[in-house]
Amino acid sequence: PSQVLTMFPALLLVLAAVARAVDRSKFRKCETTRFCRVHRDAAEVPTYAVEASSLAMSDGQVSLGLVAAGCASAPRLEATIDALTMGVLRLRIVEAGATTPRWEPSDILLSSTFETEAQTLTTTETGATLSSSAGVVELTYAPFSLAYRVDGEVLVEVNSKQLLHYETKKSAACFISGNGKGEGGSTGGTATTTTPAEAEEDDCLAGEAWNGEECLEIVGYWEDGLARFEDGSKEVKRSTKEEAPPLELGNEADEASLDFSESFGGHKDEVVNGPSSVGLDVTFPGSDGFYGLAEHATSFKLKSTRTAYKEPYRFYNLDVFEYELDEPMALYGSIPLAWSLSSEKGRVTGVYWHNPSETYVDVDGTGLRWLSESGVIDLFLILPGGGSGGGKKQDLLAPPTTTLAKFARLVGAQELPPIFALGYHQCRWNYKDEKDVSVVHGNFEDLDIPFDVLWLDIEHTDGKRYFTWDDALFPNPAEMQKNLTKTGRKMVTIVDPHIKRDSKYAIHSEAEKLGLYVKDKHLKDFDGWCWPGSSSYLDFTSPKVRDWWASRFALENYQGATLDLHVWNDMNEPSVFNGPEVTMAKDCLSLEGVEHREWHNLYGYYFSRATSEGLALRGATHAATPWKGARPFVLTRSFFSGSQRWGAVWTGDNAAKWDHLEIAAPMLLTLSICGFAFSGADAGGFFGDPDAELFARWIQAAAFTPFFRGHAHHDAKRREPWSFGEPWTQRIRAAIAERYSWLPYWYSLFALSRFSGEPVMRPLWAQYPADLKTIALEDQWLVGPDLLVKPATKAGASTVEVYFPDKSAWFATTSSDSGSGSGSGGAAYVGPLLATVPASLDAPTPTFQRAGSILPRRRRLRRSTKAMKRDPYEFVVALLQDDDDHAVTASGALFLDDQETFAFRDADAFAWAVTTFTKDRLTHEVFLGPDLPPFLDADVARALGLLSPMEGTNVDPDLTAALGDTIERLIVYGLQAPPTEVTLNLNPAGGNSQQDQGNSARSLTFKWVDKVLTIRKPDAPVGQPWTISFAFEKTES
């Protein structure tokens, strides 16, 4: 009797209006999740000890057996310990002799056998010591624990609280919860759930649901997970109380008699294979705080889950409609990575829990406790500093960014975006038709507002059938895209993973025929509800399915698409409106017969991967040479560790509120230090209507975040940059233009991230870890190491408080802020300093350039990144005065390639231009690929998939053109006095000659105003070595 929602178009607006806040009763907590409820506060747990006779070493890997005391049915475990050359310790624990090994993903980590260090094993009666150049691991036999020690100091402890558990169906009865009586006298998983309405004795018939008064026929479901009726009303959940079957704990039991089923929200999970949870504690003595655990709408510095929160941080990718702030509940993505900061030592240490099943993490004091529903224990301890390969001792003094970068060597680096993706994106649910698209495009043109991408949401399709167009609204999609392309713009369309069950829909009929869909527990194609109504879901864990999906993006398959069409993957948690917690049931099956509970958090990862690979295949197919395939752009909502390899992410359905503007920074900082560099939040907020001030402030702030998109719900008022009229249009235009002027720096930072793994958007402690005042800062951040950003995020603000860290000096980048005038050479702000600075609505976001840096910009206002491609550069030199030796220095780097294709990866068609100032001379060097500048490590780059060119590559003309771009202006801050002469020395032969080379020398014109030196039209090529010398009047000492 159910009908597709889209058969009732008038109903859609009603449905959207009645569902406007998160219904927390739809989502489980620890107390309604068996494995968390039983194990989080268990009073008695088995403890494990090492079988001393099992301790062995082979090829540098240490292996050992673990046996449990106090539970005869607990499995014997096998553990291995590896010291990886990158400066990471790996601990794996699996069940010994398991008939069927537990499922693990085989393609998330970059390698299954990372290069390891040689270890020396020394044993005693009570333990053992594992020594390598990375440090010392002390192993205690009984009870089992590990301690990593460097120079006598313990940095990390594993299982020091004896919380290791490895649950099986046989051993489940051994675990006793905190009340001493176990799970209400049972091991059963069924928990009591309550909902607002009163229970009725009789259930509604199939195809019906309760509206609070009576059972009505269901016409569809909505994103809040509730049924909808033809009159526009929604389902009212009824109270239920379901008791678990009794079982006395602590005794052996007949496996067949145990019932581990769980019921929640009207859905029952049979758990036919029994419980299989795992858990472990990790402690960081001396920790000043923890960070990471993306994604949650919480503060950047993690809060205690025993005091500040009553719930652990949860990882279970979900479509949370209008999520609340300051809550550790699960959101769209999962990266189970945490960092511990020790400010006294100025370093960070990481722990990565490689497990894609549902996971809870307790944070308390100096420790973390991990609990996962299934899988194995695969723990990576990311040690401070650089790697320890080749016998080198672990460098504990390396900056935190070096440590943060190591995660990329485990799961992959952020892919280098095409330059257009770093511009401004304009989106709305939905631009109505081709005329609407044309009007929006035309207004950007007429008002001289830069933008690069226009987006279409689900309404562009034929009845939510992806890879199609609504013929009435978008009759000429290819021509529409070409009109954008003429001005250098691109288009993005949404493609979600739910496939409308319609035999006349080619995508569905072919997928059904080939058997590509996820199965339900009865081995039939899973049927769930999403935007199209009744839908099937492709099994993206299967390489065969991913290959098929990738081929859908070929131009001959995606009719109406062009090479300038890119893709947005939404609803890929996956979102199932009528499923438990608005997602797929855990007992659904992959094509290999693996339960969904094992790979739930990977669904979005594999979906965006398949999409990205499809666009890459399309680009390679139409490339002039195999190594010039266009880089794809894919935006995903759901993700797991390593999703950064496939595109960008945004923080989901936020709201047009000031507190949502404020939470954007800590959420993006968390994503950044968890490896996802290309991240952003919808500027202006998705739900609701911002006023002009909030919208302008959000655009100003978002202009300094990695992914920059304006987006709005279909119920929201139109809010393009001109929607509020003047003076707001000019203010927003200026903010977007400011973003475009910094694109050379942004692009170079993304290249640095691709080559090294370093984050793009950074917390201040990443550069200044010894400054205690940076520990809790989350309302200001660094773009790379050299640009400090502090937006105004409060209504009515005209100033902001900016903290400048200890042992640093900064110059304001905007003329509206003249600074305090303190510091050497005119540096406006010298840390440590808390300063009040102007934050006018008529000026860009307050930003500050670090003294000691040289940053590239392009100042000419253009309509798009394509129009800027051959524009000259401005180099901004901010000099650092060293108080010890009075040296004045600065340095910076610019990355050069074609900005569009994989030639940088597949043909080494790239260059790094490095500029330094020392001894009154500006020196410019060029490192052509595969050569790298000193700040990059070739071994790391190769580990990240670079410096391995295809055969038959040759000179890239696009790179040659980029090398010929010139510098039209040099701005120099920090000189004590104006020079008497400035001379450019072209040096085609390379090197750093200290002698002028005949007629290659040319005097440059300059002016000196307010201690700022401006050198106009040096016309020095960025792709050629040169020097600029400064002569000064001699002063008497």
Write out the catalytic residue numbers: 570, 573, 653
Unique residue bearing structure tokens 């009929």 = 509
Q: Amino acid identity, residue 462? A: D
Question: Using CA atoms, how far apart are residues 554 and 163, in angstroms rounded to an integer?
Answer: 51
Q: Amino acid identity, residue 947? A: L
List helix spans (H) across 553-602: 596-599
- Which pair of structure tokens corresponds to residue 730? 């000019």
Question: Using CA atoms, how far apart are residues 169 and 187, in angstroms rounded to an integer?
Answer: 10
| Cβ pair 949, 943 in contact under 8 A | no
| Cβ pair 891, 925 in contact under 8 A | no
- Which pair of structure tokens corresponds to residue 473? 């609204």
By C-alpha distance, which of 381, 284, 279, 285 is closest to 47? 279
Helix (H, G, I), strand (E, B) or coil at 313: strand
By C-alpha distance, which of 58, 114, 56, 57 is closest to 87? 114
Q: Amino acid identity, residue 571? A: M
In angstroms, how far is the first alpha carbon of the chain from the final one?
95
DSSP letter string over 419-478? GGGGSEEE--TT--SHHHHHHHHHHHHHTT----EEEE-GGGSBTTBTT---TTT-S-HH
Question: Using CA atoms, how far apart are residues 906 and 883, in angstroms rounded to an integer?
Answer: 45
877, containing H or E segment: strand 873-878
Unique residue bearing structure tokens 């990576």 = 380
Which backbone phi and psi does 751 adopt, to 5 degrees? Answer: -65, -40
Strand order in the sheet with 809-812: 761-762, 781-783, 787-789, 847-850, 809-812, 829-830
- Which pair of structure tokens corresponds to residue 133? 């150049």
Sequence-distant (6+) residues with CB within 8 A of 362 are 40, 305, 306, 312, 313, 368, 369, 371
Cis peptide before 275 (omega within 30 of 0): no
Four-residue CA torsion sign, 352, 353, 358, 360: negative
**Within 13 Å, how many C-alpha atoms sit on residue 895's CB side?**
27
